[in-house]
A and B are shown apart, each in its own frame.
Chain A
Amino acid sequence: MSVATQLSEQKLQEQFEARIAAGDKIEVDDWMPEEYRLALIKLISMHGISEIMGALPEKEWVPKAPTLYRKLGIMAKVQDEMGHGQLLLRVAEDLLKPYGKNRGDLMIDLFEGRLKFHNVFHMETKSWGDAGLIGWLVDGSAIISQTNMLGASYGPYARALQRICAEEVFHAQHGEAIIMALAEGTPEQRELVQDALNRWWESLLFFFGPETKDTTGTSKQDVTIKYKIRVLSNEELRQSFLTKYIPRIQSLGLTVPDPTLHFDEAQQKWIYEQPNWEYFKKIQRNEGPCSQERLTLRRSSYENNAWVREALTALAN
């Protein structure tokens, strides 16, 4: 019998906390408190499923991309998102093993509303301006929230994020290239970008989640900060997003649809009009503009492709 199994739960918890405090990386077979495992499962399965759900609004633009080069670019991006989903679901299902669950169960959880996907992927895309804006600002937000976890105490997640963030850089530049072309184009093209920004502004504020759980009733940021899975809070991330992107948005001659937005020197923070958090809660309940449509698409593709999984069974070693 190994030493660890003889130790009391209390002792293991203390050792674990000491490892976290020392900046050690936790690996899949290491002892971990259930609170840590559950927080990781919730975070990583939601992240993984969101990558896959995020490919859906994006793939709508593959047939409609204006040039072959743009079409290839957006296809590569959609493929990356699916690849990120694969990586993250691998990390999640290794953590799920003690509960006897795998990615198939996560998919069922998604279909039955127990597993959420990111609020930004419930929204509608209306124009090519939206496709560019998503790449530029939604992927830009995703980079901010994912680099916030690059030093995560859970080794496999940190390694997955390392790969993901490297590819996200391409996604953001791909979006910037689309926006730049439109912003330097005709008045109609500039209007396309401004219109996209007007419609996506609230979603961009929603992106990082509520400041505290008082806003919406739940938030997992406290436990993830405690276990050094992430560093900054939701609001700190949003502030960092505003600092990085507001000057860029304005430099292109675009107007943020919030006249109250400004940087308060005394408080050293951005002041902005709060988005409608009641609407945010609705989106979280899968009652957003495209929630059901995208879930249906995912469900039917899961069902329509069942024969592939069955056919491969015959080839299993």
Chain B
Amino acid sequence: MEKESFYQEFEVFSKRTPTSHFQHQFSLLAPNGEIALVMAQENFMRREPVVDIWVVNRKHVHGLTQDSKQALQRLDNKDYRTTKGYGYLKKKWRHYEQGMLDEKEILSWAGGGKKDE
């Protein structure tokens, strides 16, 4: 049984840079979301760079039980879903004297593909 308390539990998330993902930081206690945001800065962002903060009341978080987590384990038979299953193409393209457009190459096209030399 939990005692009556005006404190509520909030999970804190923050972004380091405009392009980064929100990352879970920790939890804290606060009477409401507004104070939770202030506390989040005081508790977790005294030094590191931060551009945005979310606080989420823990009662709104739906998670998995210990048993359901076991269902997350994957069998190692999904080559057709990943680039790993198509690795043989590299050799094929070499035969045709062409380079492979792999993940590294494709993601390097960001920003118009202009590489900093």
Contact = CB atoms under 8 A, between A and B. Distances in A.
Interface string A16-34: 0000000000010111000
Interface string A182-226: 000000000000000000000000000000000000000000000
Contacts of A94: 27
A104 B2 CA distance: 13
Contact of B26 (A2, A29, A160, A312): A160
B37 interface: no
A313 B65 CA distance: 32
B6 A90 contact: no
Contacts of B3: 100-102
A87 B46 contact: no
B29 interface: yes
Interface residues of A, number: 31
A4 B67 contact: yes
Nearest to B63: A29
A80 B32 CA distance: 23
Contacts of B31: 312-313, 315-317
B2 A97 contact: yes
A52 to B, nearest CB: 13
Nearest to A89: B29
Contacts of B5: 102, 104
A2 B67 contact: yes
Contacts of A100: 1-3
Contacts of B17: none
Interface string A67-105: 000000000100110010011001000100100111110
Interface string A148-185: 00000000000110010001000000000000000000
Given A100-B2, A313-B6, A86 B67 contact: no
A83 B28 CA distance: 11
A263 B35 CA distance: 53
Interface string B29-55: 101111100000011101100000000
A79 B46 contact: yes
Given A90-B27, A163-B26, A312-B6, A317 B1 contact: no
B73 interface: no
B36 to A, nearest CB: 10
Contacts of B83: none
Interface in B2-26: 2-3, 5-8, 26
Nearest to A2: B67
A159 B44 CA distance: 13
B8 to A, nearest CB: 7
B65 A29 contact: yes
Contact of A4 (B29, B32, B44, B66): B66
A31 B66 contact: yes
Given A87-B43, A160-B26, A312 B35 contact: yes
Nearest to B39: A86
A7 B78 CA distance: 32
Contact of A309 (B6, B32, B66): B6
A317 to B, nearest CB: 4
A311 B78 CA distance: 57
Contacts of A317: 8, 31-33, 57
A4 B8 CA distance: 29
A31 B65 CA distance: 10
A197 B117 CA distance: 55
A131 B114 CA distance: 54
Q: Which of A90, A102, A317 has the most CB of B within 10 A?
A: A317
A83 B66 contact: no
Nearest to A83: B43
5 contacts: A2-B65, A83-B44, A90-B28, A103-B29, A316-B8
